[in-house]
Amino acid sequence: MNNAKQKGLDTIIQRDIFKERGLANTRGMPIDHPFFQQIEETMCEPDWAQQGGLADGDGTFTDRSKYKTGGSYKLKMKDMEPIKFLADLYGANISKTEFVNPNQKTCYIVNLYGVRALHFMKKVCPYLIEKRKHVTNLINQKEEYTPVKIPMNLGNISLMMGYTVGFFDAEGCIEFKLQKNGQYKRSVKFTNTNIRPLKKIQRFLTIKPFSYKVISIQSFKEEGKKRVYTLYIGTKHQTSFLSILEPLFQIERKKKKIEKFKLYNKISQICDKNLVKKG
The mean predicted confidence, pLDDT, of the chain is 88
Query: Over pLDDT 70: what percentage of the chain?
Result: 90
Q: Where are the beta strands (DSSP E) in the chain?
A: 9-14, 59-63, 71-77, 94-98, 107-112, 172-178, 184-192, 215-220, 228-233
Is it the case that residue 279 has pLDDT exceeding 60?
A: no
Is the full-model pTM beyond 0.85?
A: yes
For residue range 233-243, list pLDDT tens digits in order: 988 899 899 99
Is it the case that residue 264 has pLDDT exceeding 60?
A: yes
- Report whether 246 contacts 255 (CB < 8 A): yes
Specify the higher pLDDT residue, 113 or 215. Answer: 113
pLDDT given at position 5: 46
